[in-house]
Amino acid sequence: MTVLVTGAGGFIGGHLIGSLLRDRVSVRAVDVKPLTDWSQLHAGAENISGDCSDLNVARSVSADVEQVFNLAADMGGMGFIETHKAECMMSVLINTNMLTASRQAGVESFFFSSSACVYAAEHQTDPDVTALREVDAYPAMPEDGYGWEKLFSERMCRHFREDFGMTTTVARYHNVYGPDGTYDGGREKAPAAICRKVAEAVLFDRPEIEIWGDGEQTRSFMYVDDCVRGTRAIADLGDGDPINLGSNELVTINELVSIVEDIAGITLERKYLLDAPQGVRGRNSDNTLFLKKHGWEPSTSLRSGLERTYDWILCKRERAVV
């Protein structure tokens, strides 16, 4: 089998390719970024720099492929998606063209990486949030821009399955983090941002940390190894209905900061930026459906995953200083 991974230069894509290669799967990897900018570049894969929002590129990379993992998207943390809504929406071209090209190429299985941002805001107004079930995506009122693109692309997958008989699968990712992810530059998500800020406090003897909002907003965070395992399980099962893929370990952002402070052995003065982008007030993943279908659920503890993530980011920042 030859497997195509789009968004291969990104965080999750790099880890997924590593997992596939360890299982001796033949991988074609494509990303719009130059190869030198990829998060991980695996020598064992066929690595291609190309823009899959171009139908001709999508057709070229889909040729002679049995399975597609479409992870490509223009995205980032809340600070990015709240200020780049049009750019996030444009990612719909990637999924539309990849579905079209995959159908024309006779691809056997097509996986699409969706997001918890598809869920209606009315279910996420309280920090003590009820975990989100898959059915809570409708009636639809997702995150503006990024969430709408993901929800529309989910529907595209559904209709390609219903109209053309393609095997399509969809995972709704909930806040993935871990080593080799973006940790600065504006696209980073909360765990990486907090790890970077604490690492810089240690390295530069800074006694304070900036926190977006009041720190009482809640989230669950999934370690990347669980994400990769779950992604492959969902794709292999071939069930087309969207399914949550996330941890159900709910924490406040203040608790997240405290865990990283404890890992680093430091206590910082907290400065709250109440006008910064914060997203919904509370979000957690209901894993009932995933557990029923697969017999397990993401279980890497937040503490354990953050230890590995913090150590990686601290090392990167130390090297930058030198």
Residues labelled catalytic? 146
Identity (one letter) of the amino acid at 212? W
Identity (one letter) of the amino acid at 68? V
Instruction: Give, in order, the Cα–Cα distances in Å from 155 to each of 63, 134, 152, 169, 242.
Output: 24, 14, 5, 11, 10
CA atoms within 13 A on the CB side of 187: 11
Counting DSSP H helices and E strands in the chain, the numbers are 11, 13
What is the crossing angle of helices 146-164 and 92-105, to 10°? Answer: 20
Alpha-carbon distance of 31 to 48, in angstroms, equals: 7
E strand spans, the chain: 2-6, 26-31, 46-49, 67-70, 109-115, 168-173, 176-177, 208-212, 218-220, 222-223, 243-245, 250-252, 269-273
166 CB-near residues (< 8 Å, 6+ apart): 99, 102, 103, 107, 110, 160
Binning the chain into helix, strand and coil, the percentages to the nearest 5 are 45, 20, 40
Tokens matching residue 299? 């279980």
Q: What is the dihedral of CA 77, 70, 286, 151, to 10 degrees?
A: 80
290 CB-near residues (< 8 Å, 6+ apart): 230, 243, 244, 245, 297
